[in-house]
A = this chain, B = another copy of it.
Amino acid sequence: MGDEVKLFGMWASAFSRRVELALKLKGIQYEYIEEDLSNKSDLLLKNNPVHKKVPVLVHNGNSIAESLVILEYIDETWKVNPILPQDPYARAMARFWGRFIDEKVIGTLHRAIIFEGKEQEENIKEVHKELKLLENEVKGKDFFGGDTIGYVDIVAQVVAFWVELLQEIGGLELLTKDKFSFLYEWIGKLQNIEAVNECRPPREKHLEYIRALVENAKSGSK
């Protein structure tokens, strides 16, 4: 009650989207402030002077950066609809897979799209290996979190919704239905959740945005 919650984000940022989803799943009222990353606001720089990046959550004047740190903060501050499991080992596993997505999968996907020839092939193989590890985690469950959407699901949205666009842009086979049927089912279940859909960028605009990113990165890597 009386909480002032502001989120500095960017519409196409998967990291911003995951924070917004967590806030929505918990039913927290917040003010969303869209940042132009080519011309960052003084408020963003003041609230995240170290990394100067979105997302930043500002709660009653306290600013928190880094999406995984923000997710934990949200879960500890507003107890309704827990994001992380309660058991310490299950919590550790959730954190492990969250880090795996951010530190491994996102980088491998990036290289699979940007590189060409043999390097690209190697990275596509690595994407498949990493997706298989995720597939094994969600197999036999509705969500990574069990019966309901949780921390790893929120973090893994980037896998659920970016990969399909990357496939289209690069003409690649990354997350195919025959190889990853359980991940496919999981993506279908995510799409049945209203808050998830509310947080997804409009597809065509998102596709063009990522296409431009990929082209920039490709010309930079040559």
Chain A contacts to B: CB under 8 angstroms: 50, 59, 62, 64-66, 68-70, 72-73, 76-77, 88-89, 91-93, 95-96, 99-100, 133
Contacts and interface: CB of A to CB of B under 8 A. Distances in A.
A93 B88 CA distance: 21
Given A50-B100, A50-B133, A100-B50, A69 B95 contact: yes
Count copies of this chain in the complex.
2
Contact of A72 (B70, B73, B95): B95
A90 to B, nearest CB: 10
B66 A91 contact: no
Nearest to A90: B62
Do most interface residues of chain A lie in helix, strand or loop, or is the interface mixed?
A: helix
A32 B112 CA distance: 39
Given A64-B96, A76-B91, 12 more contacts: A50-B133, A64-B92, A65-B96, A66-B95, A66-B96, A66-B99, A69-B92, A69-B96, A69-B99, A73-B89, A73-B91, A76-B88
Contacts of A62: 89
A59 B92 CA distance: 12
Contacts of A96: 50, 64-66, 69
Nearest to A65: B96
A194 to B, nearest CB: 27
Contacts of A73: 88-89, 91-92
A151 to B, nearest CB: 12
Nearest to A98: B69
A48 to B, nearest CB: 10
A56 B188 CA distance: 35
5 contacts: A64-B93, A66-B95, A66-B96, A68-B95, A77-B88
